[in-house]
Copies of this chain bind each other. A is one copy, B any other.
Amino acid sequence: MMIAEKMKSLVENNSAIRTMFEEGKRMAAIYGAENVYDFSLGNPNVPAPEAVNQAIVQVLAEEESTFVHGYMSNAGYEDVRQAVAKSLNERFGTHFGMQNIIMTVGAASGMNIILKTILNPGDQVLTFAPYFLEYGAYVRNYDGELIAVEPDTETFQPNLVRFEALLGPKVRAVIMNSPNNPTGVIYSEETLKGIGDILERKSREYGHAILLISDEPYRELAYDGAVVPYVTKYYANTVVCYSYSKSLSLPGERIGYLVIPDELEDSAQVTAAAVIANRVIGCVNAPSLMQRVIKRCLNAQVNLEAYNRNRHLLYESLTKYGFTCVKPEGAFYLFVKTPMEDKAFCEVCKKHRILVVPGGSFACPGYVRISYCVSYEQIERSLPAFRKVAEECGLMEMCGGAAETCGGAAETYGQTAEGGQA
Contacts and interface: CB of A to CB of B under 8 A. Distances in A.
Given A71-B251, A253-B289, A288-B253, A105 B3 contact: no
Contact of A285 (B5, B254, B273): B254
B289 A71 contact: no
Contact of A105 (B110, B249, B283): B283
Contacts of A18: 74, 279
Contacts of A15: 276, 279
Nearest to A277: B7
Contact of A211 (B1, B21, B211): B1
Which size bracket describes the interface of A in this complex? 35 or more
Interface string A96-130: 00000000011011111100111110000000000
Interface in A282-296: 282-291
A108 to B, nearest CB: 4
Interface in A255-299: 255, 264-267, 269-270, 272-273, 276-277, 279-291
A269 B53 CA distance: 38
11 contacts: A3-B270, A4-B118, A10-B276, A11-B276, A41-B71, A48-B69, A56-B289, A68-B252, A69-B253, A70-B252, A138-B282
A422 interface: no
Interface centre among A112, A209, A254, A269 (most CB of B within 10 A): A254
B280 A14 contact: no
Interface of A: 1-7, 10-11, 14-15, 18, 21-22, 41, 43-48, 52-53, 56-57, 60, 64-66, 68-74, 105-106, 108-113, 116-120, 134, 137-138, 141-142, 208-209, 211, 237, 249-255, 264-267, 269-270, 272-273, 276-277, 279-291
A104 B336 CA distance: 36
B266 A2 contact: yes
A15 B141 CA distance: 23
A47 B66 contact: yes
A33 B105 CA distance: 30
A108 B272 CA distance: 20
A70 B282 contact: no
Nearest to A41: B71
Contacts of A279: 15, 18, 108, 134
A179 to B, nearest CB: 19
A366 to B, nearest CB: 26
Given A2-B118, A22-B73, A65-B53, A282 B283 contact: yes
A109 B47 CA distance: 28
B71 A43 contact: yes
A70 B43 contact: yes
A21 B70 CA distance: 13
B282 A108 contact: yes
A4 B211 contact: no
A113 to B, nearest CB: 7
Contacts of A269: 1, 3, 11
